[in-house]
Amino acid sequence: MHIQPILASGNSDDDTDASVVVETRPKTKKPPLYKILLLNDDYTPMEFVVHVLERFFSMTHAQAFEIMLTVHKKGVAVVGVFSHEIAETKVSQVMDLARRNQHPLQCTMEKE
């Protein structure tokens, strides 16, 4: 939704136009949020995925195990929702750890 200043305009278009801002509503656009998605694959060990969810998404072991199983069964799950910068950092951290451990785990982000 666009919010614009409300203008009171005397006439339309010339130099004598004495347009005056009579009211503005405060522009408080909420920052967009991004979902982080974890994707299933056939090779990443379940324990590694659980570890990733505990480490980067502050889940308990039980929560992490449950979400890991959801991804395993359904193919994908949202594992968190964050600002763009935080989401980008977490995706990088997950992808980096997976790569360093030679697992094909994939993690992506998309605007909510």
Q: Is 93 in the site for ligand TYC (CB under 6 A)?
A: no
100's tokens: 């360093």
Burial class (CB in 10 A: 0-12, 13-18, 19+), 27: exposed
Q: Is 66 in the site for ligand TYC (CB under 6 A)?
A: no
Q: Is 68 in the site for ligand TYC (CB under 6 A)?
A: yes
Q: Is 72 in the site for ligand TYC (CB under 6 A)?
A: yes
Least distance (Å) between residue 68 CB and ligand TYC: 5
Residues forming beta bridges with residue 38, ordered by sequence position:
77, 107
Please count the other Cβ atoms lying within 10 Å of the Cβ belonging to residue 5. Answer: 11
Binding site for ligand TYC (CB under 6 A): 38-42, 44-46, 49, 68, 71-72, 105
